[in-house]
Amino acid sequence: MELSAAMQDAMNQQIQTELESAYLYLSMATFFSPKNLGGSAHWMRVQAQEEVTHAMKFIDHVEDRGARVVLGPLAQPKLEFASALEAFEYAAAHEREVSTKIQSLYDLAAKERDYASQGLLQWFITEQVEEERSASQIVETLRMVGDSAPGLFMVDKELAKRGTEGA
């Protein structure tokens, strides 16, 4: 079954959202690097790669369904943050927004009885639980140990350990 025009537009929009997410996390990585917060920068780079993988999943799906991927312009990401805590709070809020978008896409797929898209989106719904949780956990930890030395450096060391599995 070919993708409907509405699904095609919505998925193209989501490809853009995922790539803008990658762009945002790269921006955060370059915010952290010069502050000697290499662990946080690493975490953000891995996250950016994961977002590109998300975009690819949508691209594959659109193409597998015989539709055309149309890449739009990426919005300028936020460049500066008041603190590491603010950056991770921003990331957590961003993921909550992405979850809402995924849910809207799922609603559309359900309305259209597009079962294949529902299958893909179900994967993303589960993934978003993880995405929200990992950003929120870092926010909670920073609130607990403090957003400056020595707590911040301790958290930064932990973030350096993030692997690329599942990205």
Write out the residues near ligand FEO by the rule CB under 6 A. Answer: 18, 21, 51, 54, 95, 98, 131
Quick one: DSSP state of residue 31?
H
What is the four-CA torsion angle of 103, 104, 107, 111, rounded to 10 degrees? -160
Q: Which residue is nearest to ligand FEO (CB)?
A: 54
65: DSSP letter: T
CB closer to ligand FEO, 45 vs 54: 54
Residue closer to ligand FEO by CB (options 69, 145) is 69
Q: CA-CA distance, 113 to 119, in Å (whole number)?
A: 11
Q: What's the min distance (Å) between Cβ of 139 and ligand FEO?
A: 15
**Integer Cα distance of 20 and 55 in angstroms:** 10
Closest CB 149 distance from ligand FEO, rounded Å = 29
**Residue from 33, 31, 11, 26 nearest 117 by CA:** 11
To the nearest whole angstrom, how small is the minimum distance from the Cβ of residue 2 to ligand FEO? 25
Continuous H helices in the chain: 5-32, 38-64, 84-111, 115-145, 151-159
Q: Are the beta carbons of 31 and 82 closer than 8 angstroms?
A: no
Closest separation in Å from C-beta 21 to ligand FEO:
5
- Closest approach, Cβ 95 to ligand FEO, in A, equals 5
Closer CB to ligand FEO, 84 or 98, in the complex: 98
Closer Cβ to ligand FEO, 95 or 114, answer by number: 95
Which residue, 48 or 85, has its beta carbon nearer to ligand FEO?
48
